[in-house]
Each structure stands twice: as structure tokens, then as C-alpha cells.
């Protein structure tokens, strides 16, 4: 079985490096030009180059979204841009327009061309069509069920990628003009204002038909496909994709690390994972998630349970408290950068590429001048803290529960 790719998002270099350190095989990002998510902190060419060089050190790959739906005036400079991406060493461009697919194949033949989910590929014939254009991979629409995915993979001769985690559109991804109508911001040129998630009063004529105390929203639950990963791997898929170029480094670290462990365990398990095992990973994802999650379309057409009519989110279950900057093994002390408020006596849970959820109670902290600190409440402040096990630079610390993984 080929190693399946875990593909993570990144909105900047910090998040790109975090994703790769925490176990992503590839990272996708948007350039400053020709990309959706124009409001995400996209990369310029120098940053893409730095990202490629960093990825190369880990044997990871960089994919760049070139996924606008272009009008004639949007194509100026595209050929030069694609050639530059090829020269920098980018592995693939993710494209939503047959025009750009053709141009990429012609002017930058070393770049793989991946058909974006914006093309809503939901069947084998669509995948065959893109194959005839010479593309390397098709990213399936989020609106496919698991059975449909298995059938498409079986019938196709190109690589198949599908989403396993993150936000869902209430419309077919990329087929929505709600934001255009509501705000003048074009969702297909990177400007979506997520108008579906706003809260509305619903009227039929002059009659208010929605509950005045609970405003109506069209938001979907986020996708969490942990229980389908084993089937996806064994179906012969090439890549499993996490959504969220706007998400924080902490979110990326938590989700990527958890999928890394889940995928590695699936590969070793000939009969699939137990319910208890899936529950464990689901709890781990919940430490990053701040919105309710569901199975999207994987189990078939979504029911009412998949939508969020009244609420948009739930609270984060664990706070991101600090980042480890250094560790002094001799003194059992770590240097940390504060991200959220915590105090002596609180329970900390450390996780990182080489540390899996080890907890301890904070007994002593001091600042750079050696003054004892009882309360950390200044974001980015540097503190020193005793820790009863080995930690590493770039490990992350969140608020733990004293009865979990306790040291």
C-alpha cells in the first residue's frame, strides 16, 4: 500500500512549519495572486520558496492554490507566476479552472496539476474527463459519500484526494453567490464573507416565521472524518485533506498530530480501529475544535443533525496556554512564551511531535529577571517553568485536566 498523504493548510510560514513538524506530508497554501482566501495571510514568492526549502528538509511537499475562477482580466501574469512556482520547487498547483489547467500543463510541465474541490467533482466520469486533460489529481467535492468515493477511486487512473476535516459550505463548495449578493464580496475570487453563518430573522411575506429568541443560521457543522479514515486509506486514496488556511498554529498542531497518529494506527490495523480508539481521537480533535462537528456527506445525505440552525459554535475545551521555546534538561526547566492566562497550581498538558499529552501541575515559575511569578497573564511574555519530564522546542502547552495523562 502506498503511504497516504496527510495534507494540511497553512496561512503563513509559522503555520506551514508547525504542520510539517507535527506530521503533515504536504502543506497547501495560497499565493498573493490567483488564489481564493484572498483575505487569508497569503504567501509571496519568497515565502513560498522558504516554505519549499523547509518542507524539503522533512521530505514534505508544498501545493499552491491557483484556484480563482478567472475572468479575462484575471489571467495577466499567470504564465510567469506558474513558471516561478515550478522553478521554486513547488510540487503542485490546485486549480479550479480548465483554462488554468491547460496553461499550467503547457508552461510549467514539472508542476503537478490538482483539480480543486471548487470544481465539484462528484462522479467517475468527471474524474475521467480531467484525466483526459492530463491532470495528476482530483480533489473530490465534499458532497460525496464514502461509497461514492470508493467507487470513484476504483474507476480512476489519477490520484484522488478528499477532505477529512474542517469547514463545510451549506452550498456546493464554490457554487455559491450568497456572499456576492449580501456584501458584494465574490466567494469565487476569495472574498466570501461567510454570509451563510450570519444570524437571520426569517419572514414569509410580512410574517416572522423564525423564533425571535433564536435567530436562524444556515451554518453546517464542521467535518470530522476520523471514523472513515481507515476506509479511505484502504480504498486506495492518495491524499487526505484538512481544511482551514485561516486557522491558528495551535489548531493546526492539534489536528495534524491527531490525524498523523490516527492514520499511522489505521495503516497498522488490518481490521480497522475500535470504537474506543475512534472516541479517543475524537476527544483529541475536540481540544482544537471550537465548532460542533459531524460526518458531512460521508454517511450519505446529511440530516438535520448536520446543520446548525441556531448556534454557530461551542466553547474551546482546552486553552492554548504557551509555546515551549527551549528546555534545560539539567535543571528540568523549560522556557515558554505565554499565549493565555494561567497560574501556579494549574494543570498543564504538553504535546508536540515527540510528546503525547503529558500533564503536570505548575509548581514554580519565574520571569527573565528571576522573579517568582504566580500568574501568567501577559501574552508573548517569556517565563521559565519547572517541568517533570523532557520537552522540546515547539512543543505546545494547553490547559489540562488533573485526572488525564498525569505525571
Q: What residues make contact with ligand SF4 under the rule CB under 6 A?
A: 169-171, 176, 178-179, 187, 192, 194-196
CB burial of residue 169 (10 Å; 0-12, 13-18, 19+)? buried
Nearest-angstrom CA–CA distance, 163 and 151: 16
Q: Using an 8 Å Cβ cutoff, are 67 and 118 in contact?
A: yes
Q: Which three cell numbers stand for residue 263?
A: 492514520
Taking the least distance from each CB to ligand SF4, the nearer of 51 and 174 is 174
Pairing of strands 137-139, 112-115: parallel
Taking the least distance from each CB to ligand SF4, the nearer of 177 and 274 is 177
| Strands (E) located in 33-171 | 61-66, 92-95, 112-115, 137-139, 159-166
Closest CB 245 distance from ligand SF4, rounded Å? 13
Closest CB 178 distance from ligand SF4, rounded Å? 4
What Cα–Cα distance (Å) separates residue 328 from each residue in 148, 359, 368?
Answer: 52, 18, 14
Closest CB 192 distance from ligand SF4, rounded Å? 4
Taking the least distance from each CB to ligand SF4, the nearer of 42 and 258 is 42
Nearest-angstrom CA–CA distance, 237 and 362: 44
Closest CB 186 distance from ligand SF4, rounded Å? 10
Nearest-angstrom CA–CA distance, 147 and 145: 5
Taking the least distance from each CB to ligand SF4, the nearer of 170 and 325 is 170
Q: Bridge-partner residues for 372, per DSSP? A: 366
Closest CB 190 distance from ligand SF4, rounded Å? 11
Q: Which three cell numbers stand for residue 42?
A: 497569503
Taking the least distance from each CB to ligand SF4, the nearer of 122 and 179 is 179
CB burial of residue 339 (10 Å; 0-12, 13-18, 19+)? buried
Closest CB 168 distance from ligand SF4, rounded Å? 8
Taking the least distance from each CB to ligand SF4, the nearer of 119 and 179 is 179
Nearest-angstrom CA–CA distance, 347 and 400: 5
Taking the least distance from each CB to ligand SF4, the nearer of 99 and 183 is 183
Nearest-angstrom CA–CA distance, 231 and 353: 25
What Cα–Cα distance (Å) separates residue 55 from each residue in 21, 39, 61, 248, 323?
Answer: 9, 24, 6, 19, 21
Taking the least distance from each CB to ligand SF4, the nearer of 91 and 179 is 179
**What is the CB neighbour count within 10 angstroms for residue 213?**
6
Closest CB 167 distance from ligand SF4, rounded Å? 7
CA angle 278-357-277, nearest 5°?
15
Closest CB 173 distance from ligand SF4, rounded Å? 7
CB burial of residue 12 (10 Å; 0-12, 13-18, 19+)? middle
Closest CB 205 distance from ligand SF4, rounded Å? 25
Taking the least distance from each CB to ligand SF4, the nearer of 33 and 171 is 171
Amino acid at each position: 500500500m502506498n503511504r497516504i498523504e496527510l495534507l494540511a493548510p497553512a496561512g503563513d510560514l509559522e503555520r506551514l512549519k508547525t504542520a510539517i513538524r507535527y506530521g503533515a506530508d504536504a502543506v497547501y497554501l495560497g499565493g498573493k495572486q490567483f488564489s481564493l482566501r484572498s483575505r487569508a495571510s497569503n504567501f509571496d514568492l519568497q515565502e513560498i520558496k522558504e516554505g519549499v526549502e523547509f518542507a524539503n528538509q522533512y521530505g514534505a511537499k508544498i501545493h499552491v492554490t491557483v484556484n480563482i475562477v478567472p475572468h479575462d482580466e484575471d489571467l495577466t501574469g499567470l504564465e510567469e507566476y506558474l513558471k516561478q512556482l515550478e522553478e521554486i520547487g513547488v510540487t503542485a498547483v490546485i486549480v479550479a479552472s480548465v483554462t488554468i489547467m491547460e496553461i499550467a500543463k503547457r508552461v510549467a510541465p514539472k508542476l503537478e496539476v490538482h483539480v480543486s474541490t471548487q470544481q465539484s467533482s462528484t462522479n467517475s466520469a468527471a474524474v475521467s474527463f480531467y484525466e483526459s486533460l492530463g491532470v495528476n489529481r482530483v480533489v473530490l467535492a465534499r458532497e460525496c459519500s464514502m461509497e461514492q468515493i470508493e467507487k470513484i477511486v476504483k474507476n480512476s487512473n489519477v490520484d484522488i484526494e478528499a477532505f477529512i476535516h474542517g469547514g463545510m459550505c451549506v452550498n456546493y463548495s464554490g457554487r455559491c453567490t450568497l456572499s456576492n449578493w449580501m456584501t458584494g464580496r465574490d466567494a469565487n475570487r476569495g472574498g466570501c464573507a461567510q454570509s451563510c453563518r450570519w444570524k437571520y430573522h426569517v419572514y414569509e411575506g410580512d410574517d416572522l416565521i423564525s423564533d425571535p429568541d433564536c435567530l436562524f443560521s444556515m451554518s453546517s457543522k464542521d467535518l470530522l472524518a476520523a471514523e472513515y479514515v481507515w476506509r479511505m486509506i484502504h480504498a486506495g486514496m492518495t491524499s487526505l485533506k484538512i481544511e482551514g488556511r485561516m486557522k491558528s498554529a495551535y489548531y493546526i498542531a492539534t489536528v495534524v498530530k491527531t490525524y498523523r497518529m490516527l492514520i499511522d494506527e489505521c495503516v497498522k490495523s488490518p481490521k480497522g480501529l475500535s470504537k474506543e480508539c475512534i472516541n479517543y481521537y475524537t476527544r483529541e480533535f475536540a481540544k482544537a475544535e471550537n465548532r460542533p462537528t459531524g460526518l458531512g456527506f460521508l454517511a450519505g445525505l446529511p440530516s438535520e443533525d448536520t446543520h446548525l440552525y441556531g448556534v454557530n459554535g461551542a466553547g474551546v475545551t482546552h486553552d492554548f496556554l504557551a509555546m515551549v521555546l527551549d528546555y534545560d534538561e539539567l535543571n528540568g526547566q523549560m522556557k515558554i512564551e505565554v499565549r493565555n492566562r494561567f497560574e501556579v497550581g494549574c494543570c498543564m498538558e504538553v504535546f508536540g511531535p515527540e510528546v503525547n499529552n503529558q500533564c503536570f501541575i505548575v509548581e514554580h515559575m519565574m520571569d527573565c529577571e528571576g522573579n517568582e511569578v504566580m500568574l501568567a497573564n501577559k501574552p508573548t511574555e517569556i517565563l521559565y517553568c519547572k517541568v517533570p519530564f523532557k520537552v522540546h522546542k515547539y512543543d505546545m502547552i494547553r490547559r489540562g485536566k488533573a485526572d488525564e495523562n498525569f505525571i
